Amino acid sequence: MSQHAHENARVPFWRNPQIRAWLYQSIMLGGLLWVAFIMYQNTLANLEKRGIGSGFGFLQNEAGFNIGETPPIPVLQGGFLWFIAALIVGLFTSRAIAVWLKKKGTTITASDKTVFAVITLVGIIPVLVLFLDSDSIAFTRYTESSSYVTALLTGFANTIKITILGCIFSTILGLIIALGRLSPNWLISKLCSWYVELNRNLPVLLQLFFWYFIVLQQLPSVRQSIDVGGWLILNNRGLFLPAPIAQSGAWPFCLAIGAALIGIYFICRRSMRLLNERGTPGKIVLPSIALLIGLPALVWLIAGTPFTLEYPELKGFNYRGGIDFTPEFTALLVGLTVYVSAFNAEIIRSGIQAVSNGQREAARAIALKERHVMRLVILPQAMRIIVPPMTSEYLAIAKNSSLAVAIGYPDFVSVGGTILNQSGQAVEIVGIWMGVYLSLSLVISLGMNWYNAKIKLVER
């Protein structure tokens, strides 16, 4: 009787672990919300006391200040909106197809129609939409009469430009330095080791100052520029290169290059399939070069000249025309590339050395050449180790680009700081900074995590 009563006895709620866990978390959440509310009320009171309005309406005001680098910004209308819509629909449809095939347990091969369907959805259809509605695509550039919104978008475009180029160049340079450190040549190995140790242990801001003040500012003046046949002009005002000007045959030429790249993708997949089936890969280099050169050349002959070159010319006190890279942009790009490439080199080297020596010996035993051993056996396995820490380095490039303000490059933080000084809307500007850099970091992490999931080792 007593045992039955004991079983039916209810446990007091304050002794129930699950209820206590929910209670403690609710109290903690309530406390955080209360603190946030107090801070919000305090901020509004201080702003009102100083006569500063709140809200984001000030972003529509005229900026009235100059920005040194003003890349074109696409206007969200017409063909550009249709391009974005087609790209988003293609990505989501491709993702749905991949999930559906994974549930069915279907293995996709290079010759599968599904691969062609995905490439069509993600690549061909958006480009065709862009081509067919190209007349309605418009770009705008920042001027002093533009709004604060356009100024922030210009700064953000400069930040994106540095981030993308920095990630690409630091990866390539890091791979070269990593292979150099693994070289049997004593001199090359030691030089690469010194490169890594030197650049990893110097602050990135100090390196930016070095490239900007010690290297680029000491170049000759405009009148004494280093001129390489008009193709490259270098002085203390920047680097000047010829600019391609689109002609009537530009769109067909670009489509031909895109089709050639898709063809090269299928050539590489076919080579891997032949390697798995008969132990020797198919030819890649010659067919790829022939396709990449032959198809665009054929379109060039049929559709006419796709581009002409506009050379920089000395007019007044500086060069005009062509493509110009300011000293601030060059110093920031070179500084971030050199700094991050040292970390990337160690990540890649450690990833390569983490692959078992037996893998290399087995690849040599089946008569694979050294370049095939590295490309087909070692690097694919090392990538599973390399990608996660490389994500942190790409994030470092995006965040360290904010140091551009120290050398005068108009990135997102620099432009936002000017707006903050003019408008006094510190809370809103800091909130925009935090939101944009958080979103940028999450996008980079999402892309790298997706790629890491694609190359991870699938256990049986």
Q: What is the pLDDT of residues 162-185, one digit of tens each?
A: 999 999 999 999 999 998 998 889
Confidence of residue 229 (pLDDT cuts 50, 70, 90): confident
Name the DSSP class of 135. G
- Size of the chain in residues: 460
Higher pLDDT, 388 or 363: 388
- pLDDT number for residue 209: 94
For the whole prediction, is pTM greater than 0.75? Answer: yes
Residue with tokens 């978008």: 153
Q: HSE on the CB side for 109, CA within 13 Å? A: 9
CB within 8 A of 254, min separation 6: which ones? 306
Q: What is the pLDDT of residue 442?
A: 93
Over the stretch 50-84, which tens digit does the pLDDT of each residue have? Answer: 777 677 888 888 888 898 888 888 777 666 677 77
Which two structure tokens, joined as six digits, stand for 246?
Answer: 């689109």
Distance CA 240, CA 246 (A): 19
Give the integer Cα–Cα distance in Å for 301 and 291. Answer: 15
Angle at 352 between CA 350 and CA 356, to 5 degrees: 110
CA distances 45 to 32, 39, 53, Å, are 20, 10, 11
Question: What residues does 227 pair with on adjacent strands?
Answer: 233
Per-residue pLDDT, 230: 77
Higher-confidence residue: 166 or 85?
Answer: 166
Backbone angles phi, psi at 202, to 5 degrees: -105, 135
Question: Which residue in 56, 55, 57, 61 sits closest to 150, CA to CA?
Answer: 61
170 vs 348: CA distance, rounded Å? 12
The conformation of residue 11, written as its DSSP 8-state character, comes to P
Q: Which of 210, 205, 153 is nearest to 411 (CA)?
A: 153
User: Is the per-residue pLDDT at 125 higher than 60?
Assistant: yes
Please state, rounded to an integer, the average pLDDT across all residues of the chain.
83
pLDDT category at 135 given cuts 50, 70, 90 is: low
Summarised one tens digit per residue, pLDDT across range 195-212 is: 999 999 999 999 999 999
- Residues of the chain with pLDDT > 70, as a percent, come to 85
